[in-house]
Structure 1
Amino acid sequence: MLLLVLALLSLVGPLATDMYLPAFPRMTEEFGAGAPALQLTLTSMVAGLAVGQLVLGPLSDRYGRRLPLLAGAALACATSALCALAPSLPALTGLRFLQGLSVAAGVVISRAVVSDLADGAAAARMFGILMALTGIGPIVAPPAGALISELYGWRGVYVALAVLAAVSFLGVLLAVPESLPRRRRQAGGVVGSLRSARRMLSDRNYLGYTLAFTFAFGALFCYISASQFVLQNVLGLGVSEASLVFGGGAVIVTLSASANAVLVARVSAERLLAAGLTGLVVSTAAQAGITVAGGLSLPVALTAVVCFSVSLGLVFANATALAVGRVPYAAGAGSAVLGTLQHALAAVVAPLVGLGGDQDAVAMAVGMALMSALALAALGLARSRGHDLVPA
């Protein structure tokens, strides 16, 4: 039950990102704005996620996990409802930032709770299971968002998000106990937090795993921010068909993460991470070359989505477990730095990919390849092989 509630808390953020994507083309018509302007609503959301994690992660190290989780879920419910009432695109953009701040609590503190309860290969398995459960969100989000926006418009999507946030609040209230005892909490206020941050950032292994995760997420966000335009405007799919492709990729990520939770008992997490990052580089480089050469077709795009998604399932759970496992003395702050870098990069990537316009796939393909290459290069920072997670 605990993992289910943690998964729901982690889901609200990705759902808030993904559910309204199928309505992007229609929202550009309603607001009379181009793709870059609409993608700023996505950028403001992930910017809020980045800032929120940086604040709430260290706070949870000092005051415990439960209270910030409850406050975040309550605020997520309120801001989602306000997004549904947004009178203009600038208002929606501002409210999306506040929504990101509030849902950040569930994203960052859920990882810290897992780190409180397990370490080593057991933590990698729990992160794999959590990711598999969380993977339901991207599977359900596009078709659900497409259906809701067809029936009730894009504002109905935010009403649904408000309901989900309310359910997550009840889940924390009933099923999530405090996982950080008072004796293990950080003391020293701002000075103590800065001391922990300095210690974390001087750890090359932590930085390597964190940056590998961050750049892999950047590759994913290049895809998230532009895929609906590419699938619908470039490859000619309808809204429902494009949503099924997006959801299908999420299914594959979930299955890959589930397989990883089993494999990590036999193969070290770092080896699995390296395999996943290599798969990212090969699949995105091939897609970029074909796209730049003018040969992108639906079969090529679908093949790339499959290979990319399998690789992501290996990357995210292992990179998270390896990174947070390096900083057990400040799991909230460690999770916060990981999540902040992840979403800060995403906030930059989305508008840059949007500059390619809504009728071209080159910016998305090249961005994915570049981010994947940087993710593999970042793993080189984790130079010590003595800190693998040893299979249990």
Structure 2
Amino acid sequence: MSTAAVTATAKTGRTPGTLRYALILGGLSAFAPLSIDMYLPALPRMAADLHSSAPTLQLTLTAFVIGLAVGQLIAGPLSDSLGRRRPLLAGLALYAVASVLCAVTPSAELLIAGRCVQALGAAAGIVIARACVRDLFSGSAMTKFFSMLMLVSGLAPILAPVVGGQVLRLTSWRGVFVVLAVFGAVLLIAAAVALPETLPAERRRPARIGATLRGYAGLLRDRSFLGYSASAGLVFAGLFAYISASSFVLQGVYGLSPQEYSLVFGANGLGIVIAGQVNGRIVGRVRERALLTAGLCASAAGGAGVLLAALTGVPLGVLLVPLLVMVSSIGLVMPNASSLALAEHPHHAGSASALLGVMQFVVGGLATPLVGIGGDTSAVPMGAVMTSFAVVALLTFATLTRRRAA
């Protein structure tokens, strides 16, 4: 399919061209949850196998987040200059190779380094997928498409820990990274064959460091962009606190098996998918800002519920209810925050998408060591970090975007 055909179809607000296009973009958007969630059930075994501690293994999450942040800052402007396809294909190839290196690493330190390189490749897929959506859509149509992508990418947190748990039945944790390498290779082939270029040559911008830095500075001076991006990043940090600590808390404190933990994690991922699809159905009738406000409030309420449940020592079943609310809120927060943040920057979609991603993953990376400081013998540190980030997200949103809303 040609670029012109894709653009013309996108302007109608329908899925561009074929279902394959949405599936590929959804797969690219799924890189982060798939690469993170699939190996969560294996963290306790990895700590023993590599003769390392839980906080050290949690640094593999932090390294991945840092790699995602740096990679997006590079891939975003490059895609504004070179088009979307070339940086994307290079990133997918790097991801596949780094996944193989992670599978054969002999130490936790080398695994941390390998995860950082792996994330550099994944970053290209994540940032360019968002930029492609901005190339094709605007307004509520863009929000609807982001919500539709969550139907695809939202399956990753559902399936990833389940697949990871089943892989552990057949082989060691190293097999998980082999599966990730295969996933990267499949997406590389699919993108090379079926993903058209969405940024015509006449809309590209020269790749100059000075211009790129000035573009980033202009985005950071935009209170509205900063407010939407930062609030999304802070909510994502609360989610990351759950991601990094839940395997130790639910298995070590509450005694779940890797397979039971995978089912709980998958159920929370299903909540994200359902919330995202509800969002896609009602956006247009309900303003994106109102839906984003609802998502931020749900995140704060869910985090507070988890903290209260942990402090009072209630049974696991009670704790899982507010945890589901908090995780599901991502399905409301991310599509609306992404759409509102990118709406005013069609000519810098790659750079704006990069900063949006950096806000998510840099702030999200802060959650991992904060939870680790509190230890892994209680759910209280996880609940406290989740609640803190969610409340700050709500305050940031209300403060920085108030003028634009008025």
TM-score (norm 1): 0.96
Give the Cα separation in 1 of the matches to 2:32 and 2:394: 26
Out of 14, 31, 55, the position equivalent to 1:12 is 31
Does residue 101 (structure 1) correspond to residue 124 (structure 2)? The answer is no
Displaced runs of 4+ in structure 1, greater than 4 A?
none
Q: CA deviation at 1:188?
A: 6.0
Give the Cα separation in 2 of the matches to 1:76 and 1:33: 25
Give the Cα separation in 1 of the matches to 2:59 and 2:215: 33
Give the Cα separation in 2 of the matches to 1:96 and 1:309: 24
Corresponding letter in the other structure for 1:220: L
Does residue 374 (structure 1) correspond to residue 399 (structure 2)? The answer is no
Does residue 325 (structure 1) correspond to residue 343 (structure 2)? The answer is yes
Out of 131, 147, 160, the position equivalent to 1:112 is 131
Tell me if the contact between 1:12 and 1:164 (Cα under 8 Å) persists in the aligned partners: no
How well do the aligned residues superpose, as a CA RMSD in angstroms?
A: 1.3
Alignment partner, residue 390 of structure 1:
none
* Structure 2 gap ranges (5+): 1-19
Alignment partner, residue 177 of structure 1:
196
Alignment partner, residue 360 of structure 1:
378
After superposition, residues 53-202 of structure 1 pair within 5 angstroms as 53-187=72-206, 189-202=208-221
Corresponding letter in the other structure for 1:63: L
Evaluate the alpha carbon distance shift between residue 11 and residue 379 of structure 1 in structure 2; reply closer, same or farther with a 3 A threshold.
same
Percent of paired sites with the same residue: 44
Evaluate the alpha carbon distance shift between residue 341 and residue 385 of structure 1 in structure 2; reply closer, same or farther with a 3 A threshold.
closer
Tell me if the contact between 1:128 and 1:260 (Cα under 8 Å) persists in the aligned partners: yes
Give the Cα separation in 1 of the matches to 2:319 and 2:216: 41
Note the alpha carbon deviations across 1:274-296, whole angstroms, 9 max, x for none. 0110111112112213323x324
Corresponding letter in the other structure for 2:80: D
TM-score (norm 2): 0.93
Give the Cα separation in 1 of the matches to 2:35 and 2:61: 9
Alignment partner, residue 21 of structure 2:
2
Alignment partner, residue 363 of structure 2:
345
User: Relative to structure 2, which stretch is displaced further, 178-187 or 267-276?
Assistant: 178-187
Give the Cα separation in 1 of the matches to 2:403 and 2:388: 25
Q: CA deviation at 1:120?
A: 0.4
Note the alpha carbon deviations across 1:23-64, whole angstroms, 9 max, x for none. 111112112222101101111111111110011111111111
Corresponding letter in the other structure for 1:205: S
After superposition, residues 266-345 of structure 1 pair within 5 angstroms as 266-292=285-311, 294-345=312-363
Tell me if the contact between 2:147 and 2:335 (Cα under 8 Å) persists in the aligned partners: yes
Note the alpha carbon deviations across 1:358-391, whole angstroms, 9 max, x for none. 211111000000010011111121123559xxxx
Give the Cα separation in 2 of the matches to 1:42 and 1:34: 14
Alignment partner, residue 209 of structure 1:
228
Corresponding letter in the other structure for 2:108: L
Secondary structure of the residue aligned to 1:266 is coil
Out of 232, 236, 239, the position equivalent to 1:220 is 239
Secondary structure of the residue aligned to 2:329 is helix
Tell me if the contact between 2:127 and 2:353 (Cα under 8 Å) persists in the aligned partners: yes
Alignment partner, residue 9 of structure 2:
none
User: Relative to structure 2, which stretch is displaced further, 327-336 or 282-291?
Assistant: 282-291
Alignment partner, residue 17 of structure 2:
none
Q: CA deviation at 1:309?
A: 2.9
Give the Cα separation in 1 of the matches to 2:251 and 2:37: 16
Give the Cα separation in 2 of the matches to 1:106 and 1:376: 29
* Greater relative contact order (CA < 8 Å, ≥ 6 in sequence): 1
Alignment partner, residue 6 of structure 2:
none
* Structure 1 gap ranges (5+): 388-392
Note the alpha carbon deviations across 1:149-172, whole angstroms, 9 max, x for none. 221100000110010001101111
Tell me if the contact between 1:208 and 1:382 (Cα under 8 Å) persists in the aligned partners: yes
Alignment partner, residue 33 of structure 1:
52
Give the Cα separation in 1 of the matches to 2:315 and 2:230: 32
Tell me if the contact between 1:125 and 1:264 (Cα under 8 Å) persists in the aligned partners: yes
User: Relative to structure 2, which stretch is displaced further, 305-314 or 122-131?
Assistant: 305-314
Corresponding letter in the other structure for 2:124: A
Give the Cα separation in 2 of the matches to 1:206 and 1:284: 25
Q: CA deviation at 1:20?
A: 0.6
Note the alpha carbon deviations across 1:241-287, whole angstroms, 9 max, x for none. 11100110001100110111111021010100001101111121122
User: Relative to structure 2, which stretch is displaced further, 281-290 or 68-77?
Assistant: 281-290
Note the alpha carbon deviations across 1:302-325, whole angstroms, 9 max, x for none. 111221133221111110111111
Corresponding letter in the other structure for 1:297: P
